[in-house]
Amino acid sequence: MNDYKAIKYYIENNELDLEKVINDYSHYIETIINNMSRNNLSNEDKEEIASEVFFILWKNKIKLDINKHLSSYIAGITKNVVKEYLRKIKINFDISDYEDNLCSYDKISSLDDNVEKISKIEKKLENMKEIDKIIFLDFYYFSKSIKDIAKEQKISEFSIKQRLYRIRNKIKKEVR
């Protein structure tokens, strides 16, 4: 998804238009899930995770800053839900343990604390070379491996690592 829209784009009649969000971000969420799980999840698991992401977003819609990009919230929520889901599979939680955890699942509030940092990172990305933006977004937002990014960009893995190191240093200076 190259078109990162502000949350206010998805507000109609003072209400989050979840149908529009689902239409625009389903593929984005699917990409993050596939990259994080390395396609080790069934389609049903992926659908459950995507549904959970949209549920958490809807449940916390009043906490969203309408001037921020929705993609930042969705990426953070998706990563947290996937991590939790993969943990559940590995440890085999009892379903009641998972339900208790789900009830207190409030990942957006933890994201709210970082909204200012996210905004600074987005501003810094706007001023970077296009290749650096792509590498950064592929690695941090889409959870692609360095190897996959190197293949797609037709540059060495070492070059990708070096660029990520430089990008992180530039962003750290800005975010501090």
With cut-offs at 50, 70 and 90, classify the pLDDT of residue 50.
Answer: very high
Residue 148 belongs to a domain with what CATH number? 1.10.10.10
Q: What tens digit of pLDDT does each residue of 70-118 get?
A: 888 888 899 989 988 887 776 444 444 444 444 444 555 554 555 667 7
How far, in Å, CA of 175 to CA of 118, rounded? 9
Residues 155 and 104 in one domain: no
Burial 42-73 (b: 16+ CB within 10 A, else e): eeebbeebbebbbebbeebbeebbeebbbbbb
Terminal alpha carbon distance of the chain: 28
For the chain, the average pLDDT equals 78
Only one residue has tokens 């957006």, namely: 108
Domain boundary residue, one of 63, 87, 113: 113
Residues 105 and 52 in one domain: yes
Q: Which domain holds residue 32?
A: 1-113
Q: What tens digit of pLDDT does each residue of 119-144 get?
A: 777 778 788 888 998 898 888 878 88
In angstroms, the Cα distances linking 88 to 49, 91, 130 are 12, 5, 38
Residue 31 belongs to a domain with what CATH number? 1.10.1740
Contact 107, 80 (CB under 8 A): yes
Number of domains making up the chain: 2
Residue 16 DSSP SS3:
strand
